[in-house]
Amino acid sequence: MEDISEVIRMPVQAMQAVFGQFDGHIKKLERQLKVTIVDRNGEVRISGGAPGVRKAGAVLNELTELSMRGNQIEEQNVDYAIAMSMEDNEDVLLEIDKDCICHTVSGKPVKPKTLGQKQYVDAIRNNMIVFGLGPAGTGKTYLAMAMAITAFKNQEAERIILTRPAIEAGEKLGFLPGDLQSKVDPYLRPLYDALHQIMGAETFLKNMEKGLIEVAPLAYMRGRTLDNAYIILDEAQNTTPAQMKMFLTRIGFGSKVIITGDATQKDLMPGAASGLDVASKVLRNIEGISFCHLSSKDVVRHPLVQKIVKAYEDYEEKEKRSEKRRSRNAYGNGSHGNPRRNS
């Protein structure tokens, strides 16, 4: 295939952000799209095969626009823009960027960063109950917290209730030292971190003292009716089916519920059924309940985390296929007594 060149103009103020430290972003683009990129005083020349040049040009234009809107260009943005260009899904980042949920206390905007995250946020807006399912680092809990705090600030909810089954790493609440709050705190630290970032520590403590923000283990939800509240159940893969049913039947009028979990990170006893797995089968076709599946593409932590998650996804998929083959072979070996009829 004959090589071509394309020249795009890039504002000086965007160039440093788009090129990255030591031209790291550009080097990644060159490697993955097999092109050469050279800057000549604000004119960026892209050379290589036609498909690669076209994709690289689209990615650079997208990242430039993102930068001009005041966004910091991170490695995750570059990786995702490249991945989307490979699927001929261009300008996705620019569309997603328009959706600002809220700002942290330091003024940083909280936005979905991937198509999966955008669909998750939209599902929360449009449904009473949303299940956010996916691996670590996909922003399930953080985005849920941002949506809850925004609704609370806009007086769309009277209070926020955060809960989590406290059985991780084989620990039971009864064997931990201290009162209830000190026992629960280690399990709910990720939720506290998000609250402090978005709401601010002082405002959070004031609202907690007033009872407007409640943080409690799942077991303490029994016997209650939760009206006009924004409720987040985190780490739902560690619920039992009975706990999940108990939780879902606590929901009252005017409430919104977000349930997050990762089916691959269960801390239940071996062989025990997960309430999240059962709920996914039982509630799938009920109107007003949405299931959002996030994947390794939606990981927004360090790019290495994305690679780790993808490697585990591939491994688990391979194991499932092997298990199916073994089951078929076992079935076939056990059916010698049933000779086939010739048609």
Q: Please give the mean pLDDT across all residues of the chain.
A: 86
Model pTM? 0.80
At 329, is the pLDDT very low, low, confident or very high (cuts 50, 70, 90)?
Answer: confident
At 174, is the pLDDT very low, low, confident or very high (cuts 50, 70, 90)?
Answer: low
| Domain 102-304 fold | Rossmann fold (3.40.50)
Mean pLDDT computed over 154-159:
94
- Between 91-95, 131-135, 194-198, 319-323, the lowest mean confidence (pLDDT) is in 319-323
Which pLDDT belongs to residue 343? 42
Per-position b or e across 121-136, b if 16+ CB within 10 A of its CB: bebbeebebbbbbbbe
Domain assignments of the chain as residue spans, ordered by start: 3-97, 102-304
Q: What percent of the chain has pLDDT over 90?
A: 53
3-97 maps to which CATH number? 3.30.1370.10
The partner residues of 230 in beta bridges, in order of sequence, read: 160, 256
pLDDT digits (tens, 9 = 90+) for 228-254: 999 999 999 999 999 999 999 989 899
Q: Is the pLDDT of residue 171 over 50?
A: no
pLDDT digits (tens, 9 = 90+) for 273-324: 999 999 999 999 999 999 999 988 888 877 777 778 788 888 888 888 888 8
Nearest to 114 by CA among 84, 146, 159, 70: 84
Which pLDDT belongs to residue 341? 47
Q: Which long-range contacts (CB under 8 A, 24 or more apart) does 23-29 make?
A: 24/75, 25/63, 25/73, 25/75, 25/78, 28/75, 28/78, 28/79, 28/82, 29/56, 29/59, 29/60, 29/78, 29/82
